[in-house]
Amino acid sequence: DSENQNDKNLFYILKDFCDDGGFEKIILEYFDNNIEIKKHIRQYLDYELNIIKENAPKIMQSWQYYNRFSESF
């Protein structure tokens, strides 16, 4: 049935979008266009993630989109 096929097609489009970091890329783009919010988020993340950064830096090195965010400053 064509409705089921459309649902499957939409599912695979959304899955590919998510698998390719679509949401993360949209969020990073939003921060690039909203510098003040980006600065506040950076301060918050620096504070909240400090323990991980000090005790398990390799974990944070594996966070692809966090690292892209941090490198954008």
Long-range contacts of 31-36 (CB under 8 A, 24+ apart): 31/69, 31/72, 32/72
Query: CB 58: neighbour CB atoms within 10 A?
Result: 7
pLDDT digits (tens, 9 = 90+) for 5-55: 898 999 989 899 989 899 999 999 999 999 999 999 999 999 999 999 999
Categorize the per-residue pLDDT at 1 as very low, low, confident or very high, splitting at 50, 70 and 90: confident
For residue 57, the model assigns a pLDDT of 94
For residue 42, the model assigns a pLDDT of 96
